[in-house]
């Protein structure tokens, strides 16, 4: 619930509930032929009780042709803050009924004179009609300063029921009462009423639509509970003057009970500044359209930059950031000022928070109880946009920034992002494994290629008779290889056990604290016991295996030590044999023997690799298959993502029908491909020699990699490359090829703006072919689209023409503001006036600081605000009239 101090509760326009045809005590028995069971004092008290319970703030008292009981009811209602518009119901000489209301405070004697002026046939009988026609009656009430509306116009004695189209089209008749919603009348009398009320019947067509209200005859207090007894009328302060102004703009200011405006989700409720240029400023913002006006240097931009400062939202453009920092330093920093906001958070389900920030410090967020929160302002209103003066212009120059604006309208699929990130991670891990696998296969094959040569050398030694004297050499070499492998096997057992123990899950997720208060706690306790038993069993078995492994290690060490002693003896014997070998070809017999031993050891270490090679190759094939699977998975994800993006673009185009078109061009951004190949630093390959990538009609990393693997010739054939470029690409390493294969090309979003004005044939132009002003136009269209958080902007009219603002922006604002909060600092009258801003703040300067007093805040229905809008934005009343005369409007 919005909290506002009573002192400043009339600083913006809001909807007030109004009961505009409440009858006094005697009406029920006089005109309904029944009793309501109340004495007059009881009746009046019961009406007051219902008004307070239903939050009815305005009551129109309208007895049939009589005002005798107005004062008794008014005296009961007004002390409780309910505003009374006194009046009466009256019939014209064509028997059409109207309700006439007059300003609060209008006395009974004056009301009696008004009745006399309206020429009742019998002043003592309020039911008798006036001698005046409906046209005369409407004109007369207007002359008297009153307000007249067609009572129960779709029922007996109603204006539409009587088919008085000439009366319906009178400009001074501004409202008509119906029993429910307009759609409730669908099909009634061949849909006549609904067509007229929607201004679609040529015989009843008006330049300005009649305001449709609910104002059921209230004959007894309980009638006030009926949905058709009241309607909502937007005013700054509930006064008769503001009431009449509301009917000049009914589409914005009049609501039936059935179509009450929704409250925006995220919004800034209030702002207070202590210290600096705007010291003492206090504002309660409207939930809808807020505008700041005033001369240059009065503080309009400072207000918006202070909002940005408190929320810690850095401008997106470099120049905007520089300007923001200068404004804050000059207007807040020198006085160590403080800004405090009260916000309603969209992300936190409508909870209210206070955000305060002192210059030189970080923002502090407090909840409604005053406790400091761990959240930062951006987490409260994640979709909030603030744009400083000319920041839209700056963004329009940067393509990346323009495209970022589309992000919120495109599907934010966290599941897709997670799956994609997981697949990319697995692909990267796979690449590392594939490279290792290739290395292993290459190493084995390289060693095996040495084997024939080594065996040939061995035969040469055997021809010298060395083999006979050193017969045990080959056997000892084989022993050493076997023992080394045995040690590795033992270490593998120990490593597996360590991994196994680490893999046992922690069950703290299902502890007593974790399941406290859950509805099915007993079932979870049973699950925990089952898991606990399993964990205990695993740990027991692992401990047993670790014990076995430790014992085995001891045995193995003993056996290994014994083997070493035996080998040492064998080595001593071989040493003796080596000394007996004859010298040959300039080498001593000992050197020849040592070389023979080394040759035997190499051969024995290589021969087992023949049996391992198929295993390495099988592992490599499995990794390649895994890679193909992951690439296919990524391809499927990208296909689904592209479909979602294209669907979102079509939806966005429909929302912007006639204004903009949005199209997704698949994998159109080829810069990652160019960038990667440049990063590979291929010999002789620069940016110009990669121009073919942008020129190719269709290209993808997958297709390019397929050609690279086929070699230089295929690259030349498939892509029309020169031999030099093709050869360079063909020399890419396997790891580089796999990185290239994993690249993803981003989709391009093409935006086109309709640059035609008015009813001209649409003329759509791409964003990059537009002038800066037109680019700003496109950006503003996007900013005004669906968002549950506010949009604050300084002078949105900059770089836009008035025709565009009047034709498009204002209309979009009027629709969007019912569900979203806006704040604009502006010099353009179209925005606050035709946008019907609920809050207008009029800044002025005094003693070298900006001022915004409470009386300078309100809507266009406040006389002072209206005069200031005309003076500041139109150049004053005289200038406005002169322009109107020159245009001959």
Contact 415, 820 (CB under 8 A): no
- The reply to whether 161 falls in a domain is yes
Select from 684, 694, 690, 682 the least CA-distant residue to 730: 682
Considering the domain architecture, whether residues 217 and 74 belong to the same structural domain is answered as yes
- The reply to whether 348 falls in a domain is yes
Q: At which of 231, 259, 287 does a domain end?
A: 259
Considering the domain architecture, whether residues 346 and 441 belong to the same structural domain is answered as no
Select from 786, 784, 810 the least CA-distant residue to 651: 786
The per-residue DSSP string of 17-65 comes to EEEEEE--TTHHHHHSSS--S--HHHHHHHHHHHHHHTTEEEEEEEEET
**Torsions phi, psi of 444, nearest 5?**
-65, -45
The pLDDT of residue 726: 94
Q: At which of 618, 649, 671 does a domain end?
A: 618
CA distance 692 to 705: 15
CA distance 466 to 468: 6
Res. 471: pLDDT tops 80 = no
Could you tell me the CATH number of the domain that includes residue 368? Answer: 3.40.50.300
Considering the domain architecture, whether residues 92 and 240 belong to the same structural domain is answered as yes
CA distance 781 to 791: 12
Could you tell me the CATH number of the domain that includes residue 30? Answer: 3.20.20.140
- The reply to whether 679 falls in a domain is yes
Considering the domain architecture, whether residues 593 and 520 belong to the same structural domain is answered as yes
pLDDT digits 0-9 by tens, 476-511: 777 888 888 899 899 989 899 999 999 999 999 999
Q: Where are the beta strands (DSSP E) in 133-213?
A: 147-150, 175-177, 211-213
The pLDDT of residue 417: 85
Considering the domain architecture, whether residues 729 and 803 belong to the same structural domain is answered as no
Q: At which of 259, 290, 317 does a domain end?
A: 259
- The reply to whether 326 falls in a domain is yes
Residues contacting residue 819 through CB under 8 Å, at least 6 positions apart? 261, 262, 264, 788
In which domain, by residue range, is 711 found? 638-751
Considering the domain architecture, whether residues 93 and 222 belong to the same structural domain is answered as yes
Considering the domain architecture, whether residues 576 and 687 belong to the same structural domain is answered as no
Pull the structure tokens for residue 201.
Answer: 């019947």
- The reply to whether 650 falls in a domain is yes
* Locus of tokens 């692992």: 542
The per-residue DSSP string of 560-575 comes to HHHHHHHHHHHHHHHH
Return the minimum-mean-pLDDT range out of 205-214, 584-593, 665-674.
Answer: 584-593
At 399, is the secondary structure helix, strand, or coil?
Answer: helix
Residues contacting residue 179 through CB under 8 Å, at least 6 positions apart? 152, 154, 155, 214, 216, 228
Res. 414: pLDDT tops 90 = no
Considering the domain architecture, whether residues 823 and 684 belong to the same structural domain is answered as no
- The reply to whether 875 falls in a domain is yes
pTM comes to 0.76
- The reply to whether 454 falls in a domain is yes
Considering the domain architecture, whether residues 212 and 185 belong to the same structural domain is answered as yes
At 771, is the secondary structure helix, strand, or coil?
Answer: coil
Considering the domain architecture, whether residues 423 and 487 belong to the same structural domain is answered as yes
Total count of domains within the chain: 4
- For a pLDDT cut of 90, what percent of the chain falls above it? 57
Pull the structure tokens for residue 473.
Answer: 């050499």
- For a pLDDT cut of 70, what percent of the chain falls above it? 90
Considering the domain architecture, whether residues 531 and 604 belong to the same structural domain is answered as yes
Considering the domain architecture, whether residues 796 and 677 belong to the same structural domain is answered as no
pLDDT digits 0-9 by tens, 652-696: 888 888 888 988 889 888 999 999 999 999 988 999 999 999 999
- The reply to whether 756 falls in a domain is no
Res. 575: pLDDT tops 50 = yes
Read off the DSSP letter of residue 279. Answer: T
Res. 802: pLDDT tops 70 = no
pLDDT digits 0-9 by tens, 33-63: 556 678 889 999 999 999 999 999 999 999 8
Contact 308, 268 (CB under 8 A): no
More confident residue, 318 or 135: 135
Per-residue pLDDT band at 778 (split at 50, 70, 90): confident
Helices and strands (H, E) in the chain, number of each type: 31, 24
């Amino acid at each position: 619930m919005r909290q506002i101090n009573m002192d400043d509760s009339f600083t913006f326009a809001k909807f007030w509930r109004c009961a505009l045809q409440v009858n006094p005590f005697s009406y029920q028995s006089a005109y309904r032929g029944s009793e309501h069971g109340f004495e007059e004092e009881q009746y009046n008290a019961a009406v007051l009780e219902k008004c307070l319970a239903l939050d009815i703030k305005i009551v129109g008292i309208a007895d049939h042709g009589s005002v005798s009981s107005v004062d008794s009811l008014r005296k009961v209602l007004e002390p409780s803050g309910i505003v009374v518009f006194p009046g009466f119901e009256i019939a014209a000489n064509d028997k059409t009924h109207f309700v006439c209301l007059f300003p609060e405070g209008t006395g009974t004697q004056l009301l009696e004179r008004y009745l006399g002026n309206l020429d009742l046939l019998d002043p003592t009988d309020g039911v008798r009609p006036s001698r005046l026609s409906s046209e005369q009656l409407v004109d007369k009430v207007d002359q008297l300063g009153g307000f007249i509306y067609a009572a129960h116009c779709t029922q007996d004695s109603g204006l539409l029921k009587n088919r008085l189209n000439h009366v319906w089209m009178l400009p001074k008749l501004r409202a008509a009462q119906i029993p429910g919603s307009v759609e409730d009348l669908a099909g009634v009398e061949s849909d006549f009423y609904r067509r007229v009320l929607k201004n679609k019947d040529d015989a009843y067509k008006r330049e300005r639509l009649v305001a449709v209200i609910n104002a059921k005859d209230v004959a007894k207090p309980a009638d006030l509970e009926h949905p058709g007894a009241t309607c909502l009328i937007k005013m700054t302060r509930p006064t008769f003057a503001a009431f009449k102004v509301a009917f000049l703009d009914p589409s914005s200011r009049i609501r039936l009970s059935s179509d009450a405006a929704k409250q925006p989700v995220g919004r800034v409720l209030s702002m207070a500044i202590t210290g600096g240029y705007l010291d003492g400023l206090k504002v309660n913002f409207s939930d809808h359209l807020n505008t700041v006006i005033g001369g240059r240097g009065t503080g309009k931009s400072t207000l918006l930059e202070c909002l940005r400062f408190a929320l810690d939202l850095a401008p997106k453009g470099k120049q905007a950031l520089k300007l923001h920092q200068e404004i804050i330093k000059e207007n807040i920093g020198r006085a160590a000022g403080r800004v405090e906001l009260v916000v309603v958070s969209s992300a936190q389900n409508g909870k209210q928070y206070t955000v305060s920030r002192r210059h030189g410090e970080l923002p502090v967020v407090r909840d409604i109880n005053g406790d400091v929160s761990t959240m930062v302002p951006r987490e409260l209103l994640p979709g909030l946009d603030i744009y400083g003066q000319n920041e839209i212009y700056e963004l329009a120059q940067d393509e990346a920034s323009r495209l970022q604006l589309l992000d919120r309208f495109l599907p934010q699929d966290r599941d897709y992002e997670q799956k994609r990130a997981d697949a990319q991670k697995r692909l990267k891990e796979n690449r590392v494994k594939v490279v290792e696998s290739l290395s292993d296969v290459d190493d084995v094959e390289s060693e095996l290629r040495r084997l024939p040569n080594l065996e040939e050398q061995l035969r040469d030694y055997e021809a010298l008779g060395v083999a006979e004297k050193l017969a045990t050499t080959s056997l000892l070499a084989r022993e050493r290889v076997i023992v080394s492998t045995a040690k590795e096997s033992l270490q593998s057992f120990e490593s597996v056990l360590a991994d196994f123990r680490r893999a046992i899950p922690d069950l703290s997720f299902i502890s007593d604290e974790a399941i406290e208060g859950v509805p099915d706690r007993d079932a979870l306790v049973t699950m925990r016991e089952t898991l606990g038993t399993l964990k205990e069993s695993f740990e027991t078995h692992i401990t047993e295996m670790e014990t076995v492994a430790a014992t085995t290690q001891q045995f193995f060490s003993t056996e290994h030590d014994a083997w070493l002693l035996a080998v040492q003896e064998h080595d001593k014997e071989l040493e003796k044999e080596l000394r007996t070998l004859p010298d040959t070809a300039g080498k001593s017999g000992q050197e020849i023997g040592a070389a023979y031993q080394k040759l035997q050891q190499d051969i024995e270490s290589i021969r087992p690799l023949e049996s391992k090679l198929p295993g390495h190759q099988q592992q490599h094939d499995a990794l390649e298959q895994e890679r193909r699977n992951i690439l296919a998975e990524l391809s499927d994800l990208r296909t689904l993502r592209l479909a979602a993006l294209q669907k979102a673009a079509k939806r966005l185009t429909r929302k912007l029908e006639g204004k903009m078109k949005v199209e997704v061009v698949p994998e159109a951004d080829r810069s990652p491909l160019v960038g990667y190949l440049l990063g590979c630093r291929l010999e002789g390959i620069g940016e110009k020699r990669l121009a073919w990538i942008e020129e190719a009609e269709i290209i993808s990393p997958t297709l390019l990699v397929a050609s690279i693997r086929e070699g230089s010739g295929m690259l030349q054939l498939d892509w029309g490359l020169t031999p030099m470029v093709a050869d360079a690409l063909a020399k890419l390493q396997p790891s580089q090829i796999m990185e290239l294969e994993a690249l993803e090309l981003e989709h391009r979003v093409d935006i086109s703006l309709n640059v035609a004005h008015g009813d001209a044939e649409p003329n759509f132009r791409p964003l990059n072919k537009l002038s800066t002003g037109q680019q700003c136009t496109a950006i503003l269209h996007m900013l005004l689209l669906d968002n549950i958080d506010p949009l604050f902007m300084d002078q949105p009219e900059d770089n836009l023409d008035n025709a565009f603002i009047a034709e498009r922006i204002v209309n979009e604002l009027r629709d969007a503001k019912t569900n979203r909060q806006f704040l604009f600092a502006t010099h353009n009258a179209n925005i606050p006036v035709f946008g019907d801003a609920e809050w207008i703040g009029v800044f002025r300067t005094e003693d070298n600081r900006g001022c915004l007093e409470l009386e300078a805040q309100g809507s266009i229905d406040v006389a002072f605000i209206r005069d200031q809008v005309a003076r500041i934005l139109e150049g004053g009343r005289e200038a406005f009239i002169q322009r109107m005369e020159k245009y001959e409007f």
